[in-house]
Chain A
Amino acid sequence: MLNLLNTYINSPLDQFEIRVFLGFVSPFYDLSCLSFTTFSLYTLIVLSVILGLNLLTNNNGKIVGSRWLVSQEAIYDTILNMVKGQISGKSWGYYFPLIYTFFIFIFTANLISMIPYSFALTSHLVFIVSLSTIIWLGATITGFYRHGLVFFSLFVPTGTPLPLVPLLVLIELLSYIARAISLGLRLMANILAGHLLMIILAGLTLNLMSINIFTLVFGFVPLAGILAILCLEFAIAMIQSYVWAILTCSYLKDSLYLH
């Protein structure tokens, strides 16, 4: 019989814990923000994966690229068409590198977090919500810069009856402010919930399979379910990066062209 009962599974939240690998101490300043932690390690891993993929696929600038370049071109075309479709007009090209960077970063970080025993960068509320708030703030500043006070017309949908305007402005303002949090919360909650679900179900199945020979055989049924959830999580990892990119485009479009 497999000796799985002695396998100890920690809290499901352990995978999100940040550990300090290398700390810096100074008597004058608090340097804890520069400590080399799990988070820092994974930012370096994400950076090296993205750099490696982009440097190795370019085939030294030859016109006929390698097969890997086809994948890069496919991502480039997808994001280009999305940005062009969402932010139409003249200025979409200015924002393309920003949207592309966000997409590639979240895509890579999500896929790296799917490796067992690795760490999910995008499941950290503080970082992701700060990022989404900065995007929202940038879009709002762009709107005010371009349109001045006319920007407030964004809060009055066209064709609204006059008596309803005060109520609708309030609702639209609330929904506009909620965008700052909801963009980041959507990504963070999806990734956090997915990783928690996988580890909890896997722990339960492990316990079930380690009881006796019958449960060991029967345990392959929930194991197949976990495999399906794993596939779903891979899909979520990719879809969420696309959703982030498309929503950023949509917010920018609202600021640039109002309605």
Chain B
Amino acid sequence: MPQLVPFYFLNQLTYGFLLITVLLVLFSQYFLPMILRLYVSRLFISKL
């Protein structure tokens, strides 16, 4: 199978884990807190 050529193993791992790391930083620092802030502000407006 072409995907099992060892030459590409490190290439896949380098780019794949780089993507996962970038996504993890973006989600935990920016996007998920943004949705949480939105929920909290809605809660303050409607119930508190």
**Could you tell me if A32 and B27 are in contact, using CB atoms closer than 8 angstroms?**
no
**Could you tell me if A16 and B1 are in contact, using CB atoms closer than 8 angstroms?**
yes
A18 to B14, CA, bound (A): 14
Scan B11-47; emit 1 where CB is below 8 A from any A CB, else 0: 1111111111011101110011011011001100100
Contact A50:B23 (CB < 8 A) given known A16-B1, A97-B28, A123-B3: yes
Within the complex, the shortest CB–CB distance from A81 to chain B, in Å, comes to 13
Chain A residues numbered 25-81 whose CB sits less than 8 Å from any CB in chain B: 32-35, 37, 39-40, 43, 46-47, 50-51, 54, 58, 61, 63, 65, 72-73, 76
Decide yes or no whether A92 CB sits under 8 A from chain B. Answer: no
Q: Is the interface of B mostly helix, strand, loop or mixed?
A: helix
**Could you tell me if A73 and B27 are in contact, using CB atoms closer than 8 angstroms?**
no
Which residues of chain B are within 8 angstroms of A84 by Cβ–Cβ distance?
Answer: none
**Could you tell me if A13 and B1 are in contact, using CB atoms closer than 8 angstroms?**
yes
**Could you tell me if A51 and B2 are in contact, using CB atoms closer than 8 angstroms?**
no
Decide yes or no whether B48 CB sits under 8 A from chain A. Answer: no
Contact of A105 among B4, B23, B37, B41 (CB under 8 A): B23
**Could you tell me if A63 and B45 are in contact, using CB atoms closer than 8 angstroms?**
yes
Decide yes or no whether A144 CB sits under 8 A from chain B. Answer: no
A-B contact number at CB 8 A: 101
Contact A51:B26 (CB < 8 A) given known A17-B2, A63-B45, A73-B35: yes
Contact of B20 among A32, A33, A105 (CB under 8 A): A105
Chain A residues numbered 123-140 whose CB sits less than 8 Å from any CB in chain B: 123-127, 130-131
Contact of A47 among B1, B23, B38, B41 (CB under 8 A): B23
Which residues of chain B are within 8 angstroms of A124 by Cβ–Cβ distance?
Answer: 3, 12
Within the complex, the shortest CB–CB distance from A39 to chain B, in Å, comes to 5
Contact of A126 among B13, B22, B23, B41 (CB under 8 A): B13
Scan A92-108; emit 1 where CB is below 8 A from any B CB, else 0: 00001110111011000
**Could you tell me if A125 and B14 are in contact, using CB atoms closer than 8 angstroms?**
no
Which residues of chain A are within 8 angstroms of B24 by Cβ–Cβ distance?
Answer: 97-98, 101
Decide yes or no whether A209 CB sits under 8 A from chain B. Answer: no
**Could you tell me if A35 and B3 are in contact, using CB atoms closer than 8 angstroms?**
no
Closest residue of chain B to A61 (Cβ to Cβ) is B34
Which residues of chain A are within 8 angstroms of B16 by Cβ–Cβ distance?
Answer: 39, 43, 121, 127, 130-131
Contact A104:B12 (CB < 8 A) given known A13-B1, A13-B2: no
**Could you tell me if B23 and A17 are in contact, using CB atoms closer than 8 angstroms?**
no
Which residues of chain B are within 8 angstroms of A35 by Cβ–Cβ distance?
Answer: 11
**Could you tell me if B2 and A105 are in contact, using CB atoms closer than 8 angstroms?**
no
A215 to B17, CA, bound (A): 48
Closest 4 A-B residue pairs measured CB to CB? A33-B10, A97-B28, A17-B2, A43-B19
Known: A63-B38, A98-B24, A127-B13. 6 other contacts (CB 8 A): A18-B11, A32-B7, A33-B11, A39-B12, A58-B31, A131-B17
